Structure 1
């Protein structure tokens, strides 16, 4: 019976975001699950859409002796504090070391963690792990599709296995692939491996695998992987200011080098296609109203408030789209607005009360500010529910005290914990029926599409002021790899010439 340690430590770091990830944030999980230790992992993560879930399923079905260690995750934000990294990462490594002897280790990491004191959180974690367990114990790491894979991560792990969908509906399947890769190494063999780095960054708004060019690239990846290789294409997280912020191709198995070269060539050729239409808030709302009024539009027009996406490090509290909807007199709903003080005030006032209050705008984003009005407290909730959509599937969501505030024809979901609006139950938990609204505004970039696209009459992307620039070239980078193109067909980064970025920022 193979003895396999499992664990996880996930964070996606936007180094330009307004708030950092503390130990308390990981302890409470940012709306999608608290820090788990030991057997709690097996009971609470066995049947959700996560890589560790797939690993648990494979291990259970194949007679592994699973040694659960620690699992921690929280919403994307600015840097992980040094305290949080050392406490959680140190605990994870110590638990694995205490479990020795082991036949293998499989970890669920994100791949884009930057801390206050480390550019490469995952690489450092894996290096410390290797120092303790030695070179002979196989280590497989499951990664997010948005991982900024570094040379240290590639060197320290035997296989890096990444999601192949965005929205990430295949997280559990990635865990299954990773566990199968580990199974193949239990006899002591190691696969050939190759890593390639793309010459440009791409914007997350145009990385959806439901559409081109990502759809075709991942189809090619599947063909190249076949039954004999493990392959990953990481589109990277383009809001991390360090030299290894990058898109990468990974290949493991026979002829890994040639497979990686073929995949990189396709990624390079696809560069001009990583682009799309972005609307201003005012023009986007006007277009949404026009589309919603057409008899052929079946279902709500869904607008992505992409620059305030908490799934990319924003605080989910900007008010640009609220202002545009109110100014246009548009009917619809927007969520989630992360504003614990307003949620508390709504609960104190009670359902049916009128609340004269300024909401949102706490992050101090240039061009954004709190929005004051007299709202009706339409519905209150404790924020606890189980998500049923494909992305959060099966996860218990703890959004804290929540409220639906109504202002004229607009309904606003106010919550006390940050989580990307990627599940229709996030509207339903405060009494909003998303299918009945003509316009839905979601603080998300792509993940919302897993649950909202099936009901959408149309999809639009708007850029209200927010910390996650829809175009990476608008970010004030100072430390990227020289020559890397910032955004598809964007300017090449040079450390001493930042005029393009500074002008845009």
Structure 2
């Protein structure tokens, strides 16, 4: 009996920001994850690990392509994308004929001068393998799903949880769907329906009570009924600036495009109805500090969402730090700041030395002024830490040369590179612990709920300038045309925009 052709597996994974941050180049991928060919088998993580598990269980061969992932940032440079794309496609061409293609993507990556990375990549993969070879991609639930992505794939399968706990299991789901297609058990028909809602992830959690949790639970309740193979709900990454952005639903059925369209449209309609609930209350830093001081005990979290490295910001804001110092809080406080020059100054000075330096807004100065501080270098670090969960669970993160600068009771973790915040691994790696602090500045709109669950006494979302704000009312998009929420609170006669992959 002739062996089945192998399944090609690859990934180019990052999330991009058009409002700020620094460009994402090849070094950013090399610092986080960049493996080629058979190297992808050595220490797989996330969706790729789930894909490889299922392929091994079902005894399919694998044609390994390229796995590249990076901390979110500004758009991917054209040169970087050219290198990664050509390497992936060259390996795919060499592997043809393949039985199918599995890609672990984000869905909100962008390339300088191009925009939609995933749409371009899927279109190129389709051109290489032809219309008869199944192509399935996994996506983050913050994906900006485009018509090109839908038309180029047989199925798109998104993560179901935020904070993101299910990259591995989503990889398994995507692989099973692909293999069921290869084996003729299903004939995927896919529809995407979305509405122009742009909100941050602060109220985007998928567990417990909440507006997006309700939408997600409804979407997942449809699976397994009436030929529905897979459902996804999307809370689009709002820090892109591209046409046709929005969130909603995607449904894959077994050969029933009409049902896919109807159900995806209903998911999008429910999402639109919850738009007002998705925006959080926000506070000035001074107000949040005053309210936090009135809270008995700590830690009190100051959520500086507008400087979220996990959303593509540079991580170099000192707005919260400035407010804390102005308030002369005099209580143990933890603050992260990305500032390579300040980190280098601390390393040159050495542990125990007093230094005066300017801090912050060195990488992305559009959002504020640097702050001059005098403090003592309390600790130095090479910056390596181990992720304890999430997208890169078990892998090392790299903050680069880092330092703890103590300014009175405020302990500033000064790092060279931006890193994704899953929990509080960065603080712990340099001996800083939230349980010992009154205030902790956190720069992720969602994962702080997980990192400080059962520990924090209160949390206040800050209203500060930055490229990843908690509410989008002040953002002036250039490429996204109105109407959209929140620029338009209501859109009379709104009908969700629908894209399908049939016929291809």
TM-score by length of 2: 0.90
What is the aligned counterpart of 1:281 among 280, 285, 292? 285
Please give the alpha-carbon distance, in whole angstroms, between the structure 2 residues aligned to 1:273 and 1:224: 23
Please give the alpha-carbon distance, in whole angstroms, between the structure 2 residues aligned to 1:183 and 1:95: 21
Please give the alpha-carbon distance, in whole angstroms, between the structure 2 residues aligned to 1:280 and 1:256: 44
- Residue 266 of structure 1 and its aligned partner are, at CA, apart by 1.5
2:206 paired residue number: 209
What is the aligned counterpart of 2:191 among 194, 214, 219? 194
1:272 paired residue number: 276
When structure 1 is superposed on structure 2, of 351-360 and 226-235 the one drifting more is: 226-235
1:166 paired residue number: 162
1:263 paired residue number: 267
Q: Deviations over 1:434-475 (max 9, x none)?
A: 222121111211123222234222222112222223222311
Q: Where in structure 2 are there 5+ consecutive unaligned residues?
A: 493-504
Q: Is the 8 A contact 2:136 2:155 kept in 1?
A: yes
2:10 is aligned with 1:7: yes
What is the aligned counterpart of 2:108 among 97, 112, 116? 112
Q: Is the 8 A contact 2:198 2:486 kept in 1?
A: yes
- Residue 257 of structure 1 and its aligned partner are, at CA, apart by 2.4
- Residue 389 of structure 1 and its aligned partner are, at CA, apart by 4.3
- Residue 154 of structure 1 and its aligned partner are, at CA, apart by 0.3
Please give the alpha-carbon distance, in whole angstroms, between the structure 2 residues aligned to 1:477 and 1:202: 13
- Residue 261 of structure 1 and its aligned partner are, at CA, apart by 2.6
2:34 paired residue number: 35
Please give the alpha-carbon distance, in whole angstroms, between the structure 2 residues aligned to 1:120 and 1:406: 43
Q: Is the 8 A contact 2:339 2:363 kept in 1?
A: no
1:181 paired residue number: 177
1:236 paired residue number: 236
When structure 1 is superposed on structure 2, of 70-79 and 387-396 the one drifting more is: 387-396
Please give the alpha-carbon distance, in whole angstroms, between the structure 2 residues aligned to 1:435 and 1:488: 42
Please give the alpha-carbon distance, in whole angstroms, between the structure 2 residues aligned to 1:13 and 1:108: 16
SS of match in other structure, 1:268: helix
SS of match in other structure, 1:344: helix
Please give the alpha-carbon distance, in whole angstroms, between the structure 2 residues aligned to 1:92 and 1:250: 27
Q: Where in structure 1 are there 5+ consecutive unaligned residues?
A: 493-505
1:411 paired residue number: 411
With over 3 angstroms needed to count, the CA separation of the structure-2 counterparts of 1:100 and 1:242, relative to structure 1, is: same
SS of match in other structure, 1:35: strand
Please give the alpha-carbon distance, in whole angstroms, between the structure 1 residues aligned to 2:277 and 2:30: 40
Please give the alpha-carbon distance, in whole angstroms, between the structure 2 residues aligned to 1:186 and 1:456: 49
When structure 1 is superposed on structure 2, of 162-171 and 418-427 the one drifting more is: 418-427
1:435 paired residue number: 435
Q: Is the 8 A contact 2:159 2:166 kept in 1?
A: yes
Q: Is the 8 A contact 2:196 2:245 kept in 1?
A: no
Please give the alpha-carbon distance, in whole angstroms, between the structure 2 residues aligned to 1:471 and 1:272: 11
- Residue 367 of structure 1 and its aligned partner are, at CA, apart by 5.5
TM-score by length of 1: 0.90
1:315 paired residue number: 314
**Equivalences for 1:143-154 in 2 at 5 Å?**
143-154=139-150
- Residue 201 of structure 1 and its aligned partner are, at CA, apart by 2.1
SS of match in other structure, 1:192: strand
Please give the alpha-carbon distance, in whole angstroms, between the structure 2 residues aligned to 1:395 and 1:125: 26
Q: Is the 8 A contact 1:399 1:416 kept in 2?
A: yes
Give the number of equivalent residue pairs.
Answer: 480
Q: Deviations over 1:76-125 (max 9, x none)?
A: 22221111111111211111121111111110111112211212111111
Q: Is the 8 A contact 2:239 2:467 kept in 1?
A: no
Please give the alpha-carbon distance, in whole angstroms, between the structure 2 residues aligned to 1:287 and 1:393: 35
2:502 paired residue number: none
2:138 is aligned with 1:142: yes
2:399 paired residue number: 399
SS of match in other structure, 1:472: coil
What is the aligned counterpart of 1:128 among 120, 124, 129? 124
- Residue 272 of structure 1 and its aligned partner are, at CA, apart by 2.0
- Residue 199 of structure 1 and its aligned partner are, at CA, apart by 3.5
When structure 1 is superposed on structure 2, of 314-323 and 61-70 the one drifting more is: 61-70
